[in-house]
Amino acid sequence: MAEIGELHSVTPQAVADLLKRANKLLEGYESHIGLVKKLSQQNESLRVIHQQTAALKRMAQEKSSDALSDIAEQIRAQALEMML
């Protein structure tokens, strides 16, 4: 905080106060918008899809269904890409 204060010619306390205010604003925005919660839910859904398609692919391979295995792999790859 002291280094930031020196760079901008303000006290460390002014930097701390500004950071607290900014944090409160961001928390307020988040409580109204809910982006973090939505992103978390989306990631959980994608994780479940990824697991289920992996299981589907294993079942398809056991029954020698290449078409089903290919579809499962495509869905799995898309879910994994969205998670990253």
Which pLDDT tens digit goes with each residue over 1-35?
A: 889 888 899 999 999 999 999 999 999 988 888 88
Placement of tokens 């398609």 in the chain? 53
- Provide the pLDDT for residue 70: 81
> For 40-78, how does the pLDDT look when each residue is reduced to its tens digit (9 = 90+)?
888 888 888 888 888 888 888 888 778 787 888 888 888
- Tell me the three-class secondary structure of 41-75, residue by residue: HHHHHHHHHHHHHHHHHHHHHHCCCHHHHHHHHHH
Q: What is the pLDDT of residue 68?
A: 81
Q: What phi, psi does 63 have (nearest 5°)?
A: -100, 10
Identify which of 48, 32, 28 has the alpha carbon closest to the alpha carbon of residue 40. 48
Domain regions of the chain by residue span = 1-33, 35-84
